Each structure stands twice: as structure tokens, then as C-alpha cells.
Amino acid sequence: MIDRWLWLGGSGLVALLATWTTWLLRHQAWAQRLKASPFFPSLLQLLRFLYYIGGPFAALLWGRDAVVERRFGLDPLPLLLGSSLSPEERLQLWMEGVRGLGWAILLGTMAWAILVVIWWAVGHRSDGKTVRLPLSIPTALREAFFQETHWMFYRNGPSVVLGNYWGAWTGLGIVALEAILNPWWWEALREPEKRPLTLIRAGMAVLSAAFYLQAANLWLSILLHWGVTGGLAGWTAARARREDS
């Protein structure tokens, strides 16, 4: 059982070291040159993939029960693809999936509608035109994969020990602590062009925890996240294009 907390603590330590190291070195000349190089965006996304996706799945494969598939939300897809289920068990899993999809649609629609109303009310430039969300629909899908996998990993251990309810909120607390200790997060809050997306992502962490209580399903969590953020990005872009034309 201790492996579970070692992997979780290791993930937090890596995040803390990476964010503070890059923060302290950001004004170095070589760091500025690296950031300006054409291959930096690809390198950055590769490192993010290794952290957000590689870390949790390394724990799943080599962590000796550090990740419990059911708590991590990988079911029911692996079970449905297996051949050891009875027809009744397979039907039950399908029904759980349908129920989870219903919750994802309900919560996603509500969250998207609330964000649209807020953006419609306050998301305007000085000339009165709609501000585009600095996020494309494909990028929103990538970020949904990264963030939902990361958040699911952080609630996995607490859920095994405390159950889904307290595990979901404890995991959210760990995510909040990681953000509070991240100097880049505070800088994003201070910059007007980055603040809306930063706050939306914070809200998505809360929504993800709430959805986990209804369906501990990673695949549906990613779909919910992408539907809200990608849908908002598409709506703001379409509205801005109409106003420009």
C-alpha cells in the first residue's frame, strides 16, 4: 500500500521541482534562447505528456497496486473488451456507462451554459467585441487528456482508503495545493489574457471531482472536460468571427 503514496508524493515532488526550477531560471539567457527555439513547443508538450500521462500509467504498470483500475476510472472499457464477463455483468457495466454518460451530458451542458452566460456578460474587449478563448478545440482535447488523467491519479489513492466521496475531495485538495505552490499559476492569474483560462481550468477541477462521485470513469471525464472547454472555445471563436464580419 505504501507504493501508492510514494508514486503520489513523487508526482507532487516532480511538479514542485519542475515549476520552481523553471521559474527561477526563466531570466537566464540560455533559457530565453531555448524558449525562443522552434522545437521548444514540441519539447514542452513531450515533457508534459511524460508527466501527466506517462507517470500515472507507469504507476499502473509497475506500481504494485499503486493504481487501482476501478478507482482510476479505467473501467468499464477493459472489462467490456474481456471475455470473462457473464451477460448480466456485461449489461450492468453498459448501464453504468449509459448512466455516467447521462451525468456527463447534464453536468457538461450546465457548466458550458454558465460559462457562456458569464463570457457573454463580461468577455468583451474595449471595442465591445467578444474575446476569443485562447484555446483551440484540438488543444482543448489534449488538455482534457492531460488534466483529467492527472486529477484521476491524484484522487486514486485517497479513494482507495477513504472511498469515492472523500477521495474525490481529498484529490481536489491535492490538486489545489499543487496549484498554490506553483509560481506559474499565480503569474497566470495576474495576466489578464491568461486569467480566464486559468480560472476555467480551476472550475473544471471542481466539476471533475463532482462528476467522479457519479461516475468514476476516466474516458467520460475526458469527454466532459473537452465538451465544456472545447465547446466554449468554439463558441467564442464563432461569435468573434461573426462580429468581425
Look at residue 80 and tell me whether its pLDDT is greater than 70: no
Instruction: Report the pLDDT averaged over residues 50-73.
Output: 81
Tens of pLDDT, residue by residue over 135-158, are 999 999 999 999 999 999 999 889
Instruction: Report the pLDDT averaged over residues 105-115.
Output: 96
Q: What is the pLDDT of residue 138?
A: 94
Distance CA 225, CA 211 (A): 10
Distance CA 104, CA 221 (A): 7
DSSP symbols for 174-189: HHHHHHHT-HHHHHHH
At 129, the pLDDT band (50, 70, 90 cuts) reads: confident
Q: What is the pLDDT of residue 109?
A: 96
Percent of the chain clearing pLDDT 70 (strictly above): 91
Is 91 within the bounds of a domain?
Answer: yes
Look at residue 83 and tell me whether its pLDDT is greater than 60: no
CA-closest candidate to residue 4, choices 72, 54, 52, 100? 72
Distance CA 114, CA 171 (A): 25
Is 39 within the bounds of a domain?
Answer: no
Is 29 within the bounds of a domain?
Answer: no
Distance CA 36, CA 27 (A): 13
Tens of pLDDT, residue by residue over 158-207, are 988 898 899 999 999 999 999 999 999 999 999 988 899 999 999 999 99
Is 173 within the bounds of a domain?
Answer: yes
CA dihedral 220, 109, 228, 108 (to 10 degrees): -30
Is 10 within the bounds of a domain?
Answer: no
Grid cell, residue 165, equals 466521496
What is the domain range of residue 211?
A: 70-244
Output DSSP code: residue 134: S
Q: What is the pLDDT of residue 67?
A: 74
C-beta of residue 182 within 8 angstroms of C-beta of residue 206: no
Q: What is the pLDDT of residue 126?
A: 66
Distance CA 140, CA 24 (A): 29
Is 9 within the bounds of a domain?
Answer: no
Instruction: Report the pLDDT averaged over residues 79-104.
Output: 76
Is 25 within the bounds of a domain?
Answer: no
Q: What is the pLDDT of residue 161?
A: 87
Q: Provide the 10 A C-beta neighbour count for residue 100.
A: 22
Question: Omega of the bond prior to 76 within 30 degrees of 0, cis?
Answer: yes
Residue type, 224: L
Higher pLDDT, 244 or 162: 162
Q: What is the pLDDT of residue 59?
A: 87
pTM of the model: 0.91
Please tell me the total count of domains within the chain.
1
Higher pLDDT, 120 or 174: 174
Percent of the chain clearing pLDDT 90 (strictly above): 59
Instruction: Report the pLDDT averaged over residues 231-241.
Output: 90
At 40, the pLDDT band (50, 70, 90 cuts) reads: very high
Is 28 within the bounds of a domain?
Answer: no
Look at residue 72 and tell me whether its pLDDT is greater than 60: yes
Look at residue 84 and tell me whether its pLDDT is greater than 60: yes
β partners of residue 60: none
β partners of residue 124: 130
State whether residue 131 is helix, strand or coil: coil
